[in-house]
Amino acid sequence: MVFPDRGPFNPEIIAIPQADMIAAWSRSAHADLSAEAFAHWNSEGEIPPQCAVCHSGAGFRALHGLDGSPVGMPEHPFPIGGVVDCETCHNPRLSEVKQITFPSGVSHPVVGVEAACMSCHQGRESGLSVVKATADMDEDTVNEKLRFINPHYRLAAATNLGDIAQVGYQYPGKDYSGRFLHAKPIGTCVSCHNPHSLEIAEEPCLTCHQTGNPDDIRIAHVSFDGSGDTSKGIKADIAANAAKLMETYLAYAANVAGTPMVFDGASYPYFFTDANLDGVADTDAQGKVVAYASWTPRLLKAVYNWKVVTADPGIHAHNPYYALELLYDSVEDLASADGMNVELGDMLR
């Protein structure tokens, strides 16, 4: 590019306000127009309103009435091509939003830009969805009315609130951790995340921890996965217990529900029939993959919780205790079914 050598400005001295912030945002996932989060509806030419409220800046502003429209779910679709733009979080009226309602129906107070974070990182289902779907059903009987319930993705706001938002299926008679509160000054999403690049700042971690890498931070002196290794980050314990839960629900699907299952994270609805146990989803006569349909209430509850935990890649920092509780209780419940031969071993809650 060639710049003119005459004129009132020299390119070297042209100042762009907030240039660093704009550059950081432009490299973030919030600005990636090619990402699945924004490109999913390109072939349709418009974004349904229930999706646009988080997958389009215009939809978000309409949801909260920031564009002058009535507050609430919009009634019309939105054009494709939008991202989480500057006005999504910097709209002067965002401060008017005082609480956010989660899929469980629970409303939680918010301050400032936290309203944007909690609006869109809360998921689309809750444990209550599972309760309603499985009501009055025998725990271990396959019911054709049941289908996988997807909590959605990147559930940080919901997992952080734990028992308050109740995004996970919470087993009766069990106590669950509420909001995971760090020591001051860690109080909101942007206490740890750069609001523009979304990257995690190491400095807040180093205030109390010996490392700035959240993956290496441990919040307990006990081994939740039964390995006895407390030198690794709590993320490793959560991953190990999630793997244990997957192993257990796959065994339950084959031995109790009577139909082997396989998980494919790249294809919705993620859980498919695998009758020959070759690790590949079965296909029908038309060549279409066969979605898993042999759900029992007990299986659905456990698989839903596994998806909740694994759908938040930062759950080890957002609410490790809630994650560990959901995983343990799900394994324990599956193991209690007739026909299951599963030992929890030294796994802890």
Give 1-19 as a DSSP string: ----S-SS--GGG---TTH
Chosen domain end from 43, 73, 96? 96
174-205 tens-digit pLDDT: 999 999 988 777 889 999 999 999 999 888 88
Q: Classify residue 306: in a domain, yes or no.
A: yes
Question: Of 81, 96, 111, at which residue does a domain stop?
Answer: 96
| Residue 117 confidence (pLDDT) above 80 | yes
Residues 201, 331, single domain; the answer is: yes
276 located within any domain: no
Residue-wise pLDDT for 47-89, tens only, equals 999 999 999 999 999 999 999 999 999 999 999 999 999 999 9
Q: What is the pLDDT of residue 310?
A: 99
Which pLDDT score is estimated for 57?
Answer: 97
Segment 255-312, tens digit of pLDDT: 999 999 999 999 999 999 999 999 999 999 999 999 999 999 999 999 999 999 999 9
Arithmetic mean of pLDDT over the chain: 94
Of how many residues is the chain composed? 349
**Per the domain annotation, does 269 fall within a domain?**
no
Integer Cα distance of 150 and 268 in angstroms: 10
Buried-exposed string 307-345: b where 16+ CB fall within 10 A, e elsewhere: bbbbbbebbbbbbbbbbbbbbbbbbbbbeebeeeebeee
Q: Which of 76, 96, 116 is the last residue of a domain?
A: 96
Together in a domain, 26 and 164: no
Pair 57, 154 in one domain: no
pTM of the full structure: 0.93
Based on the domain organization, do 216 and 141 belong to the same domain?
A: yes
Quickly state the pLDDT bin for 5 (edges 50, 70, 90). low
pLDDT at 3: 52
Answer whether residue 278 is part of any domain: no
Q: Within a domain: residue 103? A: no
Residue 55 lies in a domain: yes
Share of the chain above pLDDT 70, in %: 96
Tell whether 41 and 179 lie within a shared domain. no
Q: What is the pLDDT of residue 8?
A: 62
Q: Assess whether 246 and 318 both reside in one domain.
A: yes
Query: Is the same domain home to 324 and 214?
Result: yes
Q: Answer whether residue 177 is part of any domain.
A: yes
pLDDT at 12: 67
In this structure, the number of other CB atoms found within 10 A of the CB of residue 4 comes to: 8
The reply to whether 218 and 326 lie within a common domain is: yes
Residues 92 and 131 in one domain: no
pLDDT for 198:
96
Question: Are residues 200 and 331 part of one domain?
Answer: yes
Residue 66 counted as domain residue: yes
pLDDT at 10: 63
Identify the domain containing residue 50 by its residue range: 22-96
Residue with more model confidence, 14 or 133? 133
Domain count, the chain: 2
For 231, the token pair is 């030198």
Query: Which residues does 341 contact at the CB level (< 8 Å), separation at least 6?
Result: none
- What's residue 187's pLDDT? 84
Residues ≥6 apart with Cβ < 8 Å to 279: 262
Distance CA 57, CA 78 (A): 10
Predicted local distance difference test score (pLDDT) of residue 183: 78
Statement to judge: residues 238 and 300 lie in one domain = yes
For the chain, list the strands marked E by DSSP.
Answer: 46-47, 78-79, 99-101, 107-109, 261-263, 271-273
Which has the higher per-residue pLDDT, 165 or 214?
Answer: 165
Omega into 269 within 30° of 0, i.e. cis?
A: yes
DSSP class of 64: T
Q: What average pLDDT does this structure show over 308-328?
A: 98
Judge if 312 and 170 occupy the same domain.
Answer: yes
Residue found by looking up tokens 């006569």 in the block: 285
The answer on pLDDT for 252 being more than 60 is yes
